[in-house]
Structure 1
Amino acid sequence: MISRETIDRVFETARVEEVIGDFVQLKRAGSNFKGLSPFSDERSPSFMVSPVKQIWKDFSSGKGGSVVTFLMEHEHFTYPEAIRYLAKKYNIEIEETEQSQEDKLEANEKESLYLVSEFAKSYFHDTLLHTEEGKAIGLTYFKERGFTNETIAKFGLGYSPETWDAFTTEALAKGYQLEFLEKTGLTIVKDDKKFDRFKGRVMFPIQSLSGRVLGFGGRILTNDKKAAKYLNSPESDIYHKSKVLYGIFHAKQAIAKQNNCYLVEGYTDVIQLHQAGIENVVASSGTALTPDQIRLINRLTKNITVLFDGDAAGLRASIRGIDLILEEGMNVKVCTFPDGDDPDSFARKNSFEDLVLYLESNAKDFIQFKASLLMNEAQNDPIKKADLIRDMVVSISKIPDRIKREIYIQETARIMDISEQVLLNTLAQLVQKDITEAGKKLKQEQQKAFEVVKSEVHTPQEKIDIIYELERKIIEILLLYGSLEADFDDYILKANEEGEMIEEKETRTVKVFQRIFLSLQEDEVELANPVFYQIYTDLINYYNQTEAFSIEQYLMQLSPEHAQIVTDILMSEEKELLHNWEAKHIYVKTKSHNVSQYVSEIIISLREYLINRLISDLMQQFNSEIPDDLEEIKTTINDYNKLKVSLTNKIGRIRSTYL
């Protein structure tokens, strides 16, 4: 178990904006940061990070919480893993006791797969560096490719021995279960026999955005024509090749900093470019580029430069990938290398300066690239040229931004020497076709929805739970402003010189949490919602025992359920910033400008609601029969109505005072 002192130090040191900034491209929005949700496919930012409160909120998915919660949600870490990740990031020494056998058994299946994969990475790396076979075959191969010791260590490169079950035997001896060795695909079980999937291969660990080992790529070094040159881990609960990019862990910071991502085909392309100084580079892990992989890059940058060698298959693959990139609203360029070269070989032959110069000089816009590539095929054939132009317009039609589409149409008209109007007409037809198909799909979905609604037409519409909303507002005030001091006006009945009872205003300066507590005590009101009641009680106790309120410290002591509710409440005000009202010259007035007014209105509204409920309960007694104490009930209702008028007048005075 990790010590309490270590956990406290991690929370005190970790900065939510720095940690999340490793995974999501954040932009300043007032005192906060905003970005695209890492939990949903979106093009408008709905993800908000508050450095002041040290919490985050994703308004598209509803998720939110502390820096630890983010790692648990995004990287599927357990709580201890998240603490360890942060401790490693901020160089904090972890104090912990050894994990018991019982704790190991309680670890969930996915965590077991991660542990097995991490062990495999260490085993293959140690085999590469510290065995005769590993050094003679695997290390020699990597050295021949020009990889330095630092690069080999950084990417965790390894070697799997040319023995049927060397890895499996070692893993079982270390206590790892065969069930998880098989589920990761590291071990193949057949007819009660166990053997290694990656026997006799150099190994490339495939890591997630946070550095967790998800799977492996293995390259065979012999000329065995029956065996595949490259072999990847099979799909598992932790490895989905269509959602993974090789090298993303080592490239993420450089991608965000350079605001560009180089996309290549192979593992060695990534490693060689990285070693040469081009660190913002990833590969699609031996698969055709997928939308999920593009969205992974989209969280870090809007710009992709596809690097391909000059072979026809590679160039064709790049064209298919271009349309997918454009469809995601991203900017794409393509850079090809001289005949006979690929990114790996070209990086080895050139200095960092020459490499950067080549990439900058030869990266073509996708329109120029497509035109130069396909014109060679069309040559003087007018039919092929027409097909080429249509192909280019199809790509342009994938772009969501209308302004960009028009600019690319102009560029295509210039390059292909064709009327811009003809291209626009073709584009309009393609876009209309997409709209029509989308409309048909929507109509089908609406028809299905209508059938559902039709079957539920008699279901009464859910009413707004007023007491829930008011109690939620009380928790919000306590969280945001509980420790603030504010001036509150009270109206006291006093006798004047003539003996008449008049209201006289008295202003008192008290802390917000004290005002709320005393007001509810005065009315003998307890919060009806059990969760809000627990949070309210905890908050009042916390304020009474602590001089300085700390959101981070408070969140640490809450259960996950309560922490989620608290985060939702804390970040509700920040949601307004996502609309960027100030850029539209609309200035939203926050509650902190008039906190005493806000507190008073909520308390009085709660009193008014409770009075209405009491009146309603009394009125119910008239529905069945005339009660014996009719006159007494009438008097009580009359008194309550007078109190309502008084409360309404108070609300008016509060507003006029603070507006």
Structure 2
Amino acid sequence: MISKTTIDQVYEAARVEEVIGDFVQLKKSGSNFKGLSPFTDERTPSFMVSPVKQIWKDFSSGKGGNVVAFLMEHEHFTYPEAIRYLAKKYNIEIDEIEQTSEEKEQANEKESMYLVSEYAQKYFEKTLWDTEPGKAIGLTYFKERGFTDETIKKFGLGYSLDEWEAFTQTALNEGYQLEFLEKTGLTIVKEQTAGDTKRFDRFKGRVMFPIHSMSGRVLGFGGRILTNDKKAAKYLNSPENDIYHKSKVLYGIYYAKQAIAKEDNCFLVEGYTDVIQMVQRGVENVVASSGTALTPEQIRLINRLTKNITVLFDGDAAGLRASLRGIDLILEQGMNVKVCTFPEGEDPDSFSKSNTYEDLVLYLEENAKDFIQFKTSLLVKEAANDPIKRADTIRDIVNSISKIPDRIQKEVYIQECAKIMQISEEVLYNTLAQINKKEVNEASKKIRQEQKVFEVVKNDPLVEKVDVQYELERKIIEMLLLYGNQKQKFEDLVLKENEEGELVLEPEIVEAKVYEKVYLDLQEDEIELSNEQFKSIYYKLIESLNEKEDFSVNTFLSGLNQEMVSEVSSILMEEEQYVLHDWERREIYPKEKQLGVAQLVGETILTLRCNLIKNRIRKLQEKTQDQHDDNSEILEEIMNYLQLNKLLNAKLNRVLS
């Protein structure tokens, strides 16, 4: 259990823009920051972070909240884990209570899998450093690769004993359940004919490379065998499971994320040792696809941090053509891609090991080619003097260019291709147009199908209209959050009878804090918020504003559950959505709310009253239709409400039909 004092310290120290900046490339946008959504696939930023309010909002997925909510959404942390992560980041001391076997059993499934994976990483690391086989076999191998003690410890490398169930038995003795050892793939369980089960360690006799998420959680492992067993795979990865999806993970991203954002470039390699050796040499903005074909999800991970990728290929050209598909995927995501190949017989690991940092950086700078130069030089060699192959090569290159979303970039690359391939730009443009036409036709077909669905929805009488009551209650919460403690002069309306005997609303000026004005007005009219979520937030807000002179949204959010945090952040960040559209560049200047807080509060309360009166009139009218007796009293009540509604709407400058 973490004490409230520690939690308060964490909330006070944590800066939402710093924490999210570790996962998403943020750019300044007025008083806020914006970036690409980490939850959806997009090319135009719709993710906003407010350092002033200490909250974030993702307009593409609808998610939002404070710094803890981000970690819970993005990294699937539990609340205590998010607090622990932030405490570690900001060097805040936290009392860790060792989990009992009972507590481990009560943890949810995903969390149990994370716990097992993190325990396994510590176990393999300890085995490497503290056992004779670990030191003699595992440590010797890493030293032979040229890794220093510091590097081995940084990446949490380890060793799994060459015994059938050394790890499994130790984990079970520590209270970890076989169910989760099996689900993470660390233990293989096989049913025997007699009904018994046989279990053994998946990574028996291998050096271990833990695979981390962007926040540093252990998701799975890569294990390399050190014997010459031809039946066993050289590298073995954790199987796909609830926490490890290899198509969505990049090896080294946890260590590289800050360097990638700082350098505004990411080096993409194939293997674990390529990453480790380059980082040890001083080039830290490097990640690996871990031997799998590059996927859109992996590219999007990089896209959050930079728009620039440099793909590093081994000197062996055998697999280069297959790797070109990955380049097309990168272009499709709207990113800039360069390619660098190493000399024959060299790879990023060996080249980094045998060169100084300066030589490595210079080589990468001088040999990184634009993708089109690289692709043309590679394919032209293959085509040689064969005109059919040459035509296919040109078509292949134009097809890659068609993937680029930016029209100016497309044109530049067409010109470059025409020059290199010695072919007219007109022919290339025609080929590009044919490819685009096919894509447009497919897109049009999809749009027509969507329009049919829309027509059905449009004509559906059951489709809900705007809920006025909901919007007004939401506005009240927003006003309390933004201006609750501000003192304002309000124009109160008092119902009086004039000399002619007519009812009129006379203004009276009163000075009060916004939250006091809202609370008293709603109490006077006996108005209760109808939305249960808003009602809970409303009473918590009134209580907090009444008790704390130095009310802050961040402190208020720390006392809410995650559902409420998400709702509050959505309310507070709604106006930021319009900042994304950059209206001022188009000479449209939205009025700022704080310029007329008193008017905003007054008009919102008045509109809420009008809406409630309108609903009351509707109910009374329904009552007259149901009753067959004398309706005179009900009709009189309706007339009174209509008169009051007319007065309130006149004050709001609205004309009633």
One-letter amino acid of the structure 1 residue matched with residue 224 of structure 2: R
1:488 aligns with 2:490: yes
Structure-to-structure mapping, 1:228-627, within 5 angstroms: 228-443=233-448, 449=453, 453=456, 459-491=461-493, 505-624=507-626, 627=629
User: 1:133 — aligned with what?
Assistant: 133
Counterpart residue type for residue 46 of structure 1: S
1:648 aligns with 2:632: no
Counterpart CA distance in 1 for 2:393 and 2:99 is 63
Deviates more, 1:634-643 or 1:499-508: 499-508
Residue in structure 1 matched with residue 3 of structure 2 by the alignment: 3
Cα drift, residue 469 of structure 1: 1.5
Which amino acid in the other structure matches residue 651 of structure 1? Answer: L
Q: Secondary structure at the match of 1:579?
A: coil
Q: Secondary structure at the match of 1:593?
A: helix
CA contact (8 A) 2:224 2:234 kept: yes
Structure 2 CA distance for aligned equivalents of residues 64 and 325 of structure 1: 28
SS of 2:538's equivalent in the other structure is: helix
Post-superposition CA distance 1:187-207 (Å, at most 9, x none): 111232211111111111111
Q: CA deviation at 1:280?
A: 0.4
Secondary structure of the corresponding residue to residue 600 of structure 1: helix
- AA in 1 matched with 2:509: T
Kept in 1, the 8 Å contact 2:504–2:647? The answer is no
Q: 1:502 to 1:88 in 2, by over 3 A?
A: closer
> What's the offset of the Cα at 1:183?
1.2
Quote how far apart the aligned CAs of 1:184 are. 1.1
Deviations along 1:633-655, one digit per CA (max 9) or x if unpaired, are 444333333322321232239xx
Q: 1:170 to 1:439 in 2, by over 3 A?
A: same
Q: Identify which range, 46-55 or 557-566, moves more after superposition.
A: 557-566
Alpha-carbon separation, structure 2, partners of 1:468 and 1:234: 47
Q: CA deviation at 1:336?
A: 0.5
Give the Cα–Cα distance (whole angstroms) in 2 for the partners of residues 97 and 309 of structure 1: 48
Whether contact under 8 Å (2:164, 2:204) holds in the other structure is yes
- Cα displacement (A) at 1:152: 0.3
Task: Provide the rounded CA distance (Å) in 1 between the counterparts of 2:303 and 2:548.
Answer: 43
User: Following the alignment from structure 1 to structure 2, what is the Cα–Cα distance between the partners of residues 554 and 377?
Assistant: 65
Cα distance in 2 for residues equivalent to 1:502 and 1:460: 40
What amino acid maps onto 1:483 in structure 2? Answer: N
Distance 1:605 1:465 in 2: 13
- Deviation string 1:47-88 (CA, Å, 9 cap, x unpaired) is 111111111111111111111111111101111111110110
Give the secondary structure class of the aligned counterpart of 1:48: strand
Cα distance in 2 between the residues matched to 1:291 and 1:528: 44
> Residues of 2 paired with 1:526 and 1:48: CA distance?
32
> What's the C-alpha RMSD, in Å, of the aligned pairs?
2.3
Select between 223-232 and 239-248 the one with higher mean Cα deviation: 223-232
Q: Which residue matches 2:228?
A: 223
Output the CA distance in 2 between the equivalents of 1:614 and 1:390: 70
Distance 1:458 1:363 in 2: 57
Q: Deviations over 1:417-458 (max 9, x none)?
A: 1100000000000111122233334445666x47x949x966
After superposition, what is the alpha-carbon deviation per residue over 1:605-654, rounded to whole angstroms, capped at 9, x for unaligned?
11111222233333334434565351x4444333333322321232239x
CA gap 1:625/1:216 in 2 versus in 1, 3 angstroms: closer
Q: Letter of the aligned partner of 1:644 in structure 2?
A: N
Alignment correspondent of 1:145: 145
Q: How far apart are residue 294 of structure 1 and its match? A: 0.6
The reply on whether 1:120 has 2:120 as its aligned counterpart is: yes
Q: CA deviation at 1:509?
A: 2.3
Q: Which amino acid letter does the alignment assign opposite residue 594 of structure 1?
A: G
Q: d(CA) in 1 for partners of 2:320 and 2:500?
A: 98
1:493–1:239 distance in 2 versus 1, CA, 3 Å: closer
SS in 2 for 1:246: coil
Matched residue of 1:619: which SS? helix
Residues 124, 159 of structure 1: 8 Å contact kept: yes
Q: Is the contact between residue 621 and residue 627 of structure 1 (CA under 8 Å) also seen in structure 2?
A: no
Count of aligned residue pairs for this structure pair: 649
Task: Return the match for 1:195 from 188, 196, 200.
Answer: 200
Contact 1:198/1:231 (<8 A) preserved: yes
1:335-372: per-residue Cα shift (whole Å, max 9, x none)?
A: 01111111111111111111111111110000000111
Q: What secondary structure, in the 3-state scheme, does the structure 2 residue paired with 1:312 have?
A: coil
- Between stretches 515-524 and 294-303, larger displacement belongs to 515-524
CA distance in 1: counterparts of 2:504 and 2:131, whole angstroms: 95
TM-score normalised per structure 1 = 0.94
1:225-248 CA-partner distances (Å, limit 9, x unpaired)? 221111111111111111110000
Rate the CA distance shift 1:243–1:494 in 2: closer, same or farther, 3 A: closer
Is the Cα contact below 8 Å between 1:485 and 1:510 reproduced in 2? yes
**CA 97–379 in structure 1, closer or farther in 2 if over 3 Å, else same:** closer
Q: Secondary structure at the match of 2:469?
A: helix
Residue range with higher mean Cα deviation, 644-653 or 576-585: 644-653
Give 1:551 shift: 1.2
Residues 626 and 132 of structure 1, relative CA distance in 2, 3 Å threshold:
closer
Tell me if structure 1 keeps the 8 A contact 2:617–2:641: yes
C-alpha separation in 1, matches of 2:568 and 2:604: 18
1:98–1:378 Cα change, 3 Å: closer
Match of 1:175 in 2: 175
Contact 2:36 2:44 in 1 (8 A): yes
In structure 1, the gaps of 5 or more residues are 654-659
Question: Residue 344 of structure 1: SS of its match in structure 2?
Answer: helix
In 1: Cα distance, 2:288 partner to 2:593 partner: 48
Aligned to 2:653, the other structure's residue is in SS state: helix
Structure 1 pair 216–413 and aligned structure 2 pair: CA distance change class (3 A): same
Higher deviation after alignment, 109-118 or 640-649: 640-649
Q: Counterpart of 2:24 in structure 1: which amino acid?
A: V
Tell me, in whole angstroms, the C-alpha distance in 2 between the residues paired with 1:11 and 1:95.
Answer: 16
Q: Would the alpha carbon gap of residues 458 and 485 (structure 1) be closer, same or farther in structure 2, given more than 3 Å must change?
A: closer
Contact 1:306 1:318 in 2 (8 A): no
1:297-324 CA distances to partner (integer Å, 9 max, x unpaired)? Answer: 1111111000011212331233111011
Is structure 2 residue 110 aligned with structure 1 residue 110? Answer: yes
1:5-63: CA deviation from partner (whole Å, max 9, x where unpaired): 11111111111111111011111111111111111111111111111111111111111
- In structure 1, how many angstroms separate the alpha carbons of the residues matched to 2:510 and 2:28? 38
Question: What is the deviation of 1:531?
Answer: 2.5
Shift in Å at residue 491 of structure 1? Answer: 4.9
Deviation at 1:505, TM superposition (A): 4.5
- Shift of residue 542, structure 1, vs aligned partner: 1.7
The separation in 1 between residues aligned to 2:317 and 2:450, in whole angstroms, is 41
Higher relative contact order (CA 8 A, sep 6+): 2
- Quote the offset at 1:502 in angstroms: 8.4
The 1:553–1:633 alpha-carbon spacing in structure 2 relative to 1, beyond 3 Å, is same
Distance 1:560 1:496, change over 3 A: closer
| TM-score, normalised by the number of residues in structure 2 | 0.94
Q: Which moved more, 1:471-480 or 1:15-24?
A: 471-480
